[in-house]
Amino acid sequence: MGIDAETKHFKFVVEDAKRYFGQWDMADPVVWAILRVVEAQNDLAQAIDGWVNSGLDESLLEAAIKERRDAIAALQEAIEREPRGFQ
């Protein structure tokens, strides 16, 4: 898949996810863990950009990497604890 097709697919998946995100999701601990991963990913992207383009302190980049790993571990724990989500 080319980068243009991949970009279009990514944007479609994100918009589709937002469109069907509903009130039941806020009671699901797995959803909250997913949101933490998304937030950590955004923070990591900003930290990488700051490190590459602005000379941001490397310790901030390391902290963003650690939070992403912690968020992923929390997602795995939530999935194992409540594999079917809200019940």
In whole numbers, what is the pLDDT of the chain averaged over residues?
89
Structure confidence at residue 21 (pLDDT): 79
Structure confidence at residue 87 (pLDDT): 56
Structure confidence at residue 59 (pLDDT): 93
Query: What residue spans define the domains of the chain?
Result: 25-87
Element (H, E) at 10: helix 3-19
Give 57-69 pLDDT, tens digit per residue: 899 999 999 999 9
Separation CA 73–CA 81 (nearest Å): 12
Question: Is the model's pLDDT at 44 over the cut of 90?
Answer: yes
